[in-house]
Amino acid sequence: MPLQFVYSHQDFVTDLCRSGGDCTETAGAPAKFDTTIQAGWTDRMDRGLFRYHLGDLRTRILPGPRGYVAQLNVQRGIERRKPEEILSIRQQFNARQFNFNKINPDEVICEMMKDSEGDGALPDNGEVPRPCRMVVLVNVSPLEFGHCLLVPDPSRCFPQILTRFAIQVGIESVLLSSDPGFRVGFNSLGAFASVNHLHLHGYYLDRDLKVESAPVKPLVPEKGFHRMLDFPAGFLFYTESEDVGKVAGAICQVTDFFVDGNIAHNLFLTRGCPPCGRTQSESDRCSRKGVRVAIWPRTSCFGAKEESAFNVALCELAGHLPFKNEKDFELATEKDVVDVIQKYLLPEDEFNRLEQQLTDHLTSL
């Protein structure tokens, strides 16, 4: 029987800051969530359940204003499971392909269950019952320390298309952590998702990323919807603990719009400061009481296309660059990275049209 991790609103960490300026990081013992994930992950590493021993990854910050965090992870490029061939963003789940019902049960860290009594749980809407559990298992080809997969009720065999439940628990996972370096992300089919079985990634990266504090332009602020002003062009939602359900619903409306339009997309969830324009106070810039959800629509990649240096998926768009070989890790410049990422972004006119469509869509709902 997997470990049950039961949580409620009272477990959310709401006073987190990045160090610097007028802020200091929250002191004290790690949150119960972090203790559970990290102890479970380390135990599986010690027991040899991973494809390779991760160790301390060589890391460098690329010179330049974007502060790209480059890491050398040769073993992941060599040892990771061959990705499933993806032909459509709406590809059906195929039980004959690898999926998370086929894993070693020892890879499961826990099952997350929300104690939602009086806690603002998602309402029933008469549709297919939503899954009530999120299975957390180790990623046996890890990118970084604590790299795990969050899989909504694997037995339901959902394809890799986001649901409101998956988004909400993803946000709640970030709020449950007292470590500002805990991140959650999602790759759609056509955006370098390698398994067509609904899952999110979670991992720890003890480095600042620009997406945590990048300036934004409000689009539909009452639903937390903004446009990011810095490269790479994308959209951003922001929520604090009391509005998670409402914002998760709005995010799902956007991702459903992408799926209906056959638009590939990546999401990155991280502690971040409240939305702002170009000017912000130091205390606001350091605040991490809420969660930023960055969403990048992008061109689709089907088949086995891969960059020799790195793929452009959730990590790379957020500024975290796992390199597969030492030469690229040592020699890559910020311009090199921007040039690669630019190839996967939507053309500016197409992005601008999409921005208007999404603004109208969210305003009308």
CATH number at residue 140: 3.30.428.70
Instruction: Let me know if residue 167 belongs to a domain.
Output: yes
Instruction: Let me know if residue 321 belongs to a domain.
Output: yes
Its pTM surpasses 0.85: yes
At residue 163, φ and ψ (nearest 5 deg) are: -120, 165
Q: Token pair of 179, please?
A: 């470590």
What is the DSSP pairing of strand 69-72 with strand 320-323?
A: parallel
How many CB atoms within 10 Å of residue 98? 16
Instruction: Let me know if residue 94 belongs to a domain.
Output: yes
Instruction: Let me know if residue 220 belongs to a domain.
Output: yes
Instruction: Let me know if residue 121 belongs to a domain.
Output: no
Give per-residue pLDDT as tens, 14-37: 989 876 544 444 446 799 999 999
Instruction: Let me know if residue 19 belongs to a domain.
Output: yes
Residues 42/44/46/52 CA torsion (nearest 10 deg): -100
Instruction: Let me know if residue 302 belongs to a domain.
Output: yes
Give per-residue pLDDT as tens, 229-262: 999 999 999 999 999 999 999 999 999 999 999 9
Of 353, 340, 365, the closest CA to residue 256 belongs to 365
Q: Which of 147, 199, 265, 320 is catalytic?
A: 199
Per the structure, how many domains does the chain have? 1
Give per-residue pLDDT as tens, 183-230: 999 999 999 999 999 999 999 999 999 999 999 999 999 999 999 999
Q: What is the reported pLDDT for 79?
A: 72
Instruction: Let me know if residue 122 belongs to a domain.
Output: no
Distance of CA 117 to the CA centre of its chain: 27
Q: What is the reported pLDDT for 120?
A: 45
Percentage of the chain exceeding pLDDT 70? 89
Domain, as residue range, for 235: 4-116+127-364
Q: What is the reported pLDDT for 28?
A: 62
- Is 147 catalytic? The answer is no
| Higher pLDDT pick, 279 / 58 | 58
Least confident of 242-246, 283-287, 337-341: 283-287
- pLDDT band per the 50, 70, 90 thresholds, residue 278: low
What is the pLDDT of the chain when averaged over all its residues? 90
